[in-house]
Amino acid sequence: MGVTNFNKELSTTQINCGESFNVRLSLTAEPDISSNPTDIVLILDRSGSISGSAITNLKIGAKTFVDIITEATGGTIDGEIEGGSHIGIVSFADVGVQDTQLITSSTDLKTAIDALNAGGSTNHEDAFTKALDLFDNTSTNAKVMVMFTDGFTTTGGDATTITTLAKSQGVIIYVIGLSGNGGVDIPAIESWASSPASAYVTITPDDAELEDLFEDLAENIVKPGATNIVITDNIIDCFRITSISSPSKGTSTLIDSNTIEWNIDELGVNASEGATMEFTVEHIGSCSGEVEVNESITYSDTEGNVVNFPSPTLNVDCDIVVQPEDCPTPVDIEINNCSDSIVFDAGEIFMESIGRIVQVSLTLKNICPNKRVALAVILNEVDENGLEHKRGLKTMTIPAHTRETCQDILVKCIKFVLPEDLSAFDVTDSICPNRNLKARFICHYIDNDFDCCDNILE
């Protein structure tokens, strides 16, 4: 059957600057259907939400699936499935219905698919039950279920019990979900599918893609298992790979800080088999917002399976940082050759007395987009009697940000100079006495949407 499913997923959808996340690669391979007879049950959702273009595209996709399986076993379109394999159709709404048994006539299968009409609730439990009842427990054929659904369970019980039983009997379960018709219960779907779920579950928001999804799954099912697999995953320079976990199958090698290679000698040659590999990635660059993690990811094997891993995105949330005061301009001093000492004239630097510099940073919370903020910082010194003495006042304008939502803004490096001869304490036995300070902050928006009404005299 070849590589029947594959996925690349991230452990989270959002990180802060400098944080790490995990990347998980997974794929599944199955033996060649021509030499390993397989019984396949298509479980097709025909509830009310599938009406319109969705059920039309579902029928096209399901019939394409039947044609590909038929031809791969040596049969012809509108002919017979050969090699000992069979396909059955179960459709469901309020209840599940066995529209066909496990049969070999592609014409009868497509006739049953064309007869489907949308209407009713969604009973996944009964659908899986009717599908499991189609299999012959005495048959040595491989057993596969392909479930298509576009909604949550709205009637019947929890399908997990019956899918767990099916998987314990060796049934492989794939799930195709259509999320564009009101959403699907992804946690439930992943619990129904074979493990790892990332390799057996495909979700699409667009019913126009259903034909391609059924076609891709069928084409991979008819290929043999994969050998000499090489997967090379390269991430963008904004990130770096910090660690690799041992894959469940094969070996992984860190080529450089942005590239990892995964090698598997064989997968799914004798039986259905899945493999996963994980590695940890750290954000190190200046990129922020919605970022595509992949630079590239390639797949190759001896059998020529076509695998196109998805390219997931990650939202990198970096603080907005404003520095209202520049640091003093440095003066360059150069020591030439082998000089042991140097005499340098830095110009006129006036210093009234010894003192200290207080540097204040603060975070303005939930600042709306496209609005400047007026900020004042008041610094006072408190003497031993609790009285406050003025030491400085700074006012500044914080520029507007252009993010889509309100953001926290980090304001850094607001500096005050405190000469020691202004100390509130009369201390003569120490050049660095303790000093107690209080800072107060006032801020408000400069920009607003208020306009005065024009006076109109009549």
The pLDDT tens digits for 234-277 are 999 999 999 999 999 999 999 999 999 999 999 987 777 889 99
> Which is it for strands 96-98 and 273-283: parallel, antiparallel or unpaired?
unpaired
Q: 155 pLDDT band (50/70/90 cuts)?
A: very high
The CATH 3.40.50.410 domain(s) of the chain lie at: 33-222
Residue 428 has pLDDT above 80, yes or no: no
| CA-based end-to-end distance of the chain | 86
The CATH 2.60.40 domain(s) of the chain lie at: 321-326+352-445
CB atoms within 10 A of CB 256: 9
Q: In CATH, what is the architecture of 321-326+352-445?
A: Sandwich (2.60)
Q: What is the pLDDT of residue 39?
A: 95
Q: 95 pLDDT band (50/70/90 cuts)?
A: very high
Phi/psi at 99 (5° precision): -70, -30
**Lowest pLDDT segment from 125-129, 130-134, 172-176:** 172-176
CB atoms within 10 A of CB 99: 21
Q: 349 pLDDT band (50/70/90 cuts)?
A: low
385 contact partners, CB below 8 Å, separation of at least 6: none
- The predicted model gives 303-323 an average pLDDT of 83
More confident residue, 426 or 374: 374
High-pLDDT (> 90) share of the chain, %: 52
Q: What is the pLDDT of residue 271?
A: 72
Residue 149 has pLDDT above 60, yes or no: yes
DSSP type of residue 49: G
Sequential DSSP letters for 121-185: ---HHHHHHHHHHHS-TT--SEEEEEEEE-S---SSS-THHHHHHHHHTTEEEEEEEEGGGT---
Please give the CATH topology (third level) of the domain spanning 33-222: Rossmann fold (3.40.50)
158 contact partners, CB below 8 Å, separation of at least 6: 125
Q: What is the pLDDT of residue 339?
A: 67
Cα 36 from Cα 217, distance rounded (Å): 17
> Which is it for strands 251-256 and 259-267: parallel, antiparallel or unpaired?
antiparallel
Q: What is the pLDDT of residue 375?
A: 94
Q: 17 pLDDT band (50/70/90 cuts)?
A: confident
More confident residue, 194 or 334: 194
Q: 350 pLDDT band (50/70/90 cuts)?
A: low
Q: What is the pLDDT of residue 426?
A: 61
pLDDT tens-place string over residues 211-222: 999 988 887 677
Q: What is the pLDDT of residue 139?
A: 92
pTM of the model: 0.51
Q: What does the block give as tokens for 315?
A: 């939202």
pLDDT tens-place string over residues 355-402: 788 999 999 999 998 899 999 999 999 988 888 889 899 999 999 888
Residue 311 has pLDDT above 70, yes or no: yes
- The predicted model gives 174-192 an average pLDDT of 87
Match 């004798």 to its residue by tokens. 270
Burial class (CB in 10 A: 0-12, 13-18, 19+), 270: exposed
Residue 42 has pLDDT above 90, yes or no: yes
Q: What is the pLDDT of residue 419?
A: 80
Q: What is the pLDDT of residue 8?
A: 92
Phi/psi at 454 (5° precision): -70, 135
Q: 131 pLDDT band (50/70/90 cuts)?
A: very high
284 contact partners, CB below 8 Å, separation of at least 6: 18, 238, 239, 240
Q: What does the block give as tokens for 249?
A: 């199958």
Residue 455 has pLDDT above 70, yes or no: no
Computed over every residue of the chain, the mean pLDDT equals: 87
Partner residues linked to 6 by β-bridges: 27
Q: What is the pLDDT of residue 241?
A: 95
